[in-house]
């Protein structure tokens, strides 16, 4: 099992809190998605940010989610999990929450989660603001977490 550092431990804690809140709100599919991500973090292999959901609602919501995910992927590729583990963990966990809830937003299953969606989105934005100063050089393994393939430009630095 890979070693778990500050990032993985904080990510697991954040995901547990979000999964518990989803369970209390009766959002079973959101809870299930977050529990899968908890398992990966607990094993020391955090999953990359969840994909933008196909059922994200209107075009503005889809565009906001797409842009937010791109910023998160870039921050993780730049080494945010090592340089700012708490903020990176919160950003990743709240992204996963936001994406899971946004997928439900266009269905009848999600009538009361508007506040939860807004809370995940707000907390994600706050964490990303704290990551604004992430270092340029990613630590070993950062590409695997971000889901990006290392580019020749990055390797030549």
Hey, where are the domains in the chain?
6-146
* pTM as predicted: 0.76
Which helix (H) or strand (E) segment holds residue 33: the answer is helix 28-42
**Res 101: pLDDT:** 79
**Res 105: pLDDT:** 63
Compute CA distances 89 → 63, 99, 124, 142, 156, whole Å.
23, 15, 10, 13, 28
pLDDT of 44 over the 90 cut = no
- Give the C-alpha separation, 72 to 127, whole Å: 10
Least confident piece of the model among 6-15, 45-54, 67-76: 45-54
Mean pLDDT of the chain: 77
Exposed, middle or buried: residue 149 (CB in 10 Å: 0-12, 13-18, 19+)?
exposed
The pair of structure tokens assigned to 113 is: 């989660």
- Give the C-alpha separation, 113 to 101, whole Å: 7
pLDDT of 56 over the 70 cut = no
- The tens digit of pLDDT for each residue in 78-129 reads 999 999 999 999 999 999 888 887 777 655 454 555 667 778 889 999 999 9
- Give the C-alpha separation, 106 to 84, whole Å: 34
- Give the C-alpha separation, 21 to 36, whole Å: 15
Higher pLDDT, 6 or 53: 6
């Amino acid at each position: 099992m890979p070693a778990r550092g500050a990032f993985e431990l904080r990510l697991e804690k954040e995901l547990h809190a979000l999964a518990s809140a989803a369970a209390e709100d009766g959002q079973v599919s959101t809870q299930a998605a977050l529990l899968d991500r908890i398992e990966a973090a607990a094993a020391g292999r955090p999953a990359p940010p969840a994909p933008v959901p196909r059922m994200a609602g209107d075009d503005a919501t889809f565009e906001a989610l797409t842009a937010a995910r791109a910023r998160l992927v870039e921050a993780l590729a730049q080494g945010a999990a090592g340089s700012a583990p708490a903020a990176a963990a919160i950003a990743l966990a709240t992204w996963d929450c936001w994406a899971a809830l946004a997928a439900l937003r266009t269905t009848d299953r999600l009538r009361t989660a508007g506040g939860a969606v807004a809370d995940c989105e707000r907390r994600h934005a706050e964490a990303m603001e704290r990551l604004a100063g992430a270092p340029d050089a990613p630590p070993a393994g950062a590409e695997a977490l971000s889901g990006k393939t290392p580019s020749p430009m990055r390797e030549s630095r």
